Structure 1
Amino acid sequence: MPEAPAMIVAGRYRLVHRIAAGGMGEIFLAVQDGPQGFQKLVALKRILPGVATDRNTVQHFLDEAQLTSRLSHRNIAQVFDFGQDREGYFAAMEYVQGPTMASLLDRLAERHQRLAPALALDIAAQVADALAYAWEVRGPDGAPSRVVHRDISPQNIMVSVSGDVKLIDFGVAKSAQQLHATIGSSIKGKLAYMSPEQGSGDPIDTRSDLFCLGVVLCEMLTGVHPFARNDLLQIMQAARSEPPKLPSAIDASLAFIDSALLKMLAKDPRERFQDGHEAHEALQALRPKAPASPLRLGALVSECFGQELDALVSKDRR
Structure 2
Amino acid sequence: MRETPIRIGSHDIVVELAAGGMATTYLAHKRGDAFFARLVVIKRIHPWLLVDPKSGDMLREEARLGAAIQHPHVVHVEDVTNHDREVCLVMPYVESLSLGALLGAVRRAGERIPPAMTSRIMLDVLSGLHAAHDAKDLRGDPLEIVHRDVSPNNVLVGTDGRGRIIDFGIARAASRLCKTRSGDMRGTIAYMSPEQLRRRELDRRADVFAAGAVLYEALTGERLFEGRDEADILIGVLADEIPTVSRAIPDVGLEVDEVLARALCREREERFPTARAFAEALERALPPAPATDVAAFVERFGQSEFSRRRNAIRAFVDGQTIDVPALDDGHGSAASVEARSGKKRDTYRKWSAVLLVSISTAASGGMFFLPRNPSPNAYAQKMAVHLPTTNPAASSDPAEAPPGGSKSDSKPLAPLGSVVTATAPSSPRTPSTPVRRAAPIREKVDKRHSTELQENPYR
Q: Normalized against structure 1, the TM-score is what?
A: 0.92
Stretch deviating more after TM superposition (211-220 or 18-27): 18-27
Matched letter for residue 163 of structure 1:
G
Separation in 2 of the partners of 1:86 and 1:109? 43
Percent identity of paired positions between Structure 1 and Structure 2: 29
Q: What stretches of structure 1 of length at least 5 have no aligned partner?
A: none
Give the 5 Å matches for 1:109-188: 109-178=107-176, 182=180, 184-188=182-186
Give the 5 Å matches for 1:34-53: 34-53=32-51
> Does residue 1:266 correspond to 2:251, yes or no?
no
Question: Cα distance, 1:14 vs. partner?
Answer: 0.9
Question: Cα distance, 1:264 vs. partner?
Answer: 0.3
Separation in 1 of the partners of 2:284 and 2:58? 38
> Does residue 1:5 correspond to 2:1, yes or no?
no
Matched letter for residue 246 of structure 2:
S
> Does residue 1:193 correspond to 2:191, yes or no?
yes
Matched letter for residue 271 of structure 1:
E
Separation in 2 of the partners of 1:196 and 1:311? 41
Query: Which residue number corresponds to residue 281 of structure 1?
Result: 280
Question: Cα distance, 1:248 vs. partner?
Answer: 2.1
Q: Which of 71, 77, 90 does residue 73 from structure 1 map onto?
A: 71
Stretch deviating more after TM superposition (106-115 or 14-23): 14-23
What CA RMSD, in Å, does the superposition of the two structures yield over aligned residues? 2.2
Question: Cα distance, 1:96 vs. partner?
Answer: 1.7
Hey, which of these two has a bigger chunk of helix by percent? Answer: 1
Q: Tell me, yes or no, if the aligned pair for 1:100 and 1:159 is still in contact at 8 Å.
A: yes
Larger relative contact order (Cα-Cα within 8 Å, sequence gap ≥ 6): 2
Q: Tell me, yes or no, if the aligned pair for 1:4 and 1:17 is still in contact at 8 Å.
A: no
Query: Which residue number corresponds to residue 230 of structure 1?
Result: 228
Separation in 2 of the partners of 1:104 and 1:307? 13
Separation in 2 of the partners of 1:180 and 1:17? 31
Matched letter for residue 148 of structure 1:
V
> Does residue 1:62 correspond to 2:60, yes or no?
yes
> Which SS does the other structure have where 1:158 is aligned?
strand
Measured at CA, do residues 227 and 316 of structure 1 come closer, stay the same or move farther in structure 2, by a change above 3 Å? closer
Measured at CA, do residues 315 and 180 of structure 1 come closer, stay the same or move farther in structure 2, by a change above 3 Å? closer
Separation in 2 of the partners of 1:155 and 1:222? 16
Question: Cα distance, 1:169 vs. partner?
Answer: 0.8
Separation in 2 of the partners of 1:179 and 1:277? 27
Question: Cα distance, 1:53 vs. partner?
Answer: 3.8
Measured at CA, do residues 6 and 88 of structure 1 come closer, stay the same or move farther in structure 2, by a change above 3 Å? closer
Query: Which residue number corresponds to residue 348 of structure 2?
Result: none
Q: Deviations over 1:81-121 (max 9, x none)?
A: 11213251111101121110000000000000000100111
Stretch deviating more after TM superposition (208-217 or 243-252): 243-252
Stretch deviating more after TM superposition (204-213 or 28-37): 28-37
Q: Tell me, yes or no, if the aligned pair for 2:135 and 2:143 is still in contact at 8 Å.
A: yes
Q: Deviations over 1:173-199 (max 9, x none)?
A: 011343996473400100111111111
> Does residue 1:30 correspond to 2:56, yes or no?
no
> Does residue 1:309 correspond to 2:306, yes or no?
yes
Separation in 2 of the partners of 1:115 and 1:200? 33
Separation in 1 of the partners of 2:290 and 2:113? 9
Q: Deviations over 1:28-56 (max 9, x none)?
A: 11111223432211111011122234311
Larger Rg belongs to = 2
Separation in 1 of the partners of 2:231 and 2:129? 27
Q: Tell me, yes or no, if the aligned pair for 1:138 and 1:144 is still in contact at 8 Å.
A: yes
Q: Tell me, yes or no, if the aligned pair for 1:75 and 1:165 is still in contact at 8 Å.
A: yes
Q: Normalized against structure 2, the TM-score is what?
A: 0.65
